[in-house]
Structure 1
Amino acid sequence: MPKIILIPTSHIARESLENVRKIITKEKPECIALELDLNRYYALKAEEKERSGFWGMIKSFGIFTSLIYWILKKFQGYFGGKTGVLPGSEMLKGVEIAEELKLPFAFIDQPVERTFFNIKKIPLSEKLSLFWLLIKAVFGLAYPFGKKVEIDLSKVPPKKLIEEAMKQFRKDLPGFYNVLVEERNAVMARNLKALAKKFDKIVCVIGAGHEKGLKKLLAQ
């Protein structure tokens, strides 16, 4: 039976970079899968100019979807500056290691354009709720885990905290949870199962918030 090993990461944690190399080296997979699509990979590699990208997004997906994406990206960039790790570095590290070891690698996420298109369909009221939560978070009036928690940004948060955060996310913003988590989990699980027909051992680098749902789908 093919073996799929998930590496849950935090996109700005230095520990994620270390774990990716350590686990791939230890497990010696036949293929490395990554929570990326081709356009996101090129964007990470090229570090595209924010301004032109932002106005292009507004034309394609509307002001609210684009503004929310921009704010979330700024948040990640800010915290990434605190840890010295650019958001998404662990994904690029996975590709780098695959190339070093001459291993095939696969991007298993759905196209980012599809994700944005689905976000566009979320009711305006929920978009405003997310926008308001983000504004409150800037001023320390809202927390990602529903309560104030001290987190070491250089490490991947404990699974219990991640599960609490995902429950809170699902409760407060069900439309966003469906688009950003459940729909993408379904796509990634389907793509991993397809890879498992070709390779006996796969290591998959994913954001920690996807781990529990992916495990459940892969077990079906």
Structure 2
Amino acid sequence: MPKIILVPTSHIARESLESIRKIVKREKPDCIALELDLNRYYALKAEEGGSSIRMIRTFGVFTFLIYWVLKRFQRYFGEKTGVLPGSEMLRGIEIAREFGISFAFIDQPIERTFLGIRKIPLSEKLKLLWLLVKAVFGLAYPFGKKIEIDLSRVPPKNLIEEAMKHFRKELPGFYKVLVENRNAIMTRNLKELLKKFNKIVCVIGAGHARGMKELLSIKD
């Protein structure tokens, strides 16, 4: 019977790098699916996101600014853990090649995500930037209170779910573009892969896990 094993990760957690190998070794899948598209893969390999001028012209100043700020946030925390953002996706590819397993990118093109962000109301974009600035100076927390989190590990499921609820409430447009829409695309692509592969290990950001489990009818 075809099977999908979701592996929720944190993009900067060293634990994520180690867990992928353990699960692949245990499950012996036919394919490793990754929360990537081709352009994001090339950007990770090159450690750059392409031409800033081209992105500004194509997607607008605010969309580029949000992308740049979020990228700098991830890199800042990644430097604290010694793991560059997206390293777990590249590790998944390395492991697939090492074990002679197929791998596939299941995310939508990043350009489509940018176009979705561009359509979000300006007021919500400004709210996101303000929340990020407040977070930098310790004036705002994802749960309304300060919680100590070990950045080297994937946060507990209950904390992730609480954070996603907060995200959905505070920034519904961003939640739809960055989470809901991509969950649907990645789920659809996984179902297509099941026509070719019998067992798939799927490496995704932890924030996508609950929604994709529901769409795939996977029980905890």
Give the gaps of 5 or more residues in structure 2: none
Name the structure 2 match of 1:64.
62
Name the structure 2 match of 1:2.
2
**Contact kept in structure 2, 1:14 and 1:154, CA below 8 Å:** yes
Name the structure 1 match of 2:77.
79
1:107 is displaced (CA, Å) by 0.1
1:60 is displaced (CA, Å) by 1.0
Aligned length: 218
1:122 is displaced (CA, Å) by 0.4
TM-score (norm 2): 0.97
**C-alpha distance in structure 1 between counterparts of 2:10 and 2:58, whole Å:** 29
Alignment of structure 1 residues 10-49 onto 2, 5 Å: 10-48=10-48
**C-alpha distance in structure 2 between counterparts of 1:54 and 1:138, whole Å:** 24
Of residues 52, 77, 91, the one that matches 1:93 is 91
The amino acid that maps onto 1:2 is P
**Contact kept in structure 2, 1:146 and 1:165, CA below 8 Å:** no
Of residues 171, 176, 179, the one that matches 1:178 is 176
- Point out the more displaced range, 185-194 or 141-150: 141-150
Alignment of structure 1 residues 110-149 onto 2, 5 Å: 110-149=108-147
Alignment of structure 1 residues 138-217 onto 2, 5 Å: 138-217=136-215
What do you get for the CA RMSD once the two structures are aligned? Answer: 1.1
1:145 is displaced (CA, Å) by 2.9
Map Cα deviations across residues 76-116 of structure 1 (whole Å, 9 max, x no partner).
Answer: 00000000000000000000011111111000000000000
Structure 1 stretches of at least 4 aligned residues deviating more than 6 Å after TM superposition: none
- Point out the more displaced range, 144-153 or 85-94: 144-153
**C-alpha distance in structure 2 between counterparts of 1:90 and 1:77, whole Å:** 14
The amino acid that maps onto 2:80 is K
**C-alpha distance in structure 2 between counterparts of 1:103 and 1:126, whole Å:** 42
Q: Percent identity?
A: 76
Name the structure 1 match of 2:217.
219
**C-alpha distance in structure 1 between counterparts of 2:143 and 2:55, whole Å:** 29
**Contact kept in structure 2, 1:33 and 1:107, CA below 8 Å:** yes
**C-alpha distance in structure 2 between counterparts of 1:5 and 1:158, whole Å:** 18
**C-alpha distance in structure 1 between counterparts of 2:85 and 2:63, whole Å:** 20
**C-alpha distance in structure 2 between counterparts of 1:154 and 1:53, whole Å:** 31
1:144 is displaced (CA, Å) by 2.4
**C-alpha distance in structure 2 between counterparts of 1:65 and 1:147, whole Å:** 29
Map Cα deviations across residues 156-195 of structure 1 (whole Å, 9 max, x no partner).
Answer: 0000000000000000000000000000000000000011
**C-alpha distance in structure 1 between counterparts of 2:198 and 2:144, whole Å:** 40
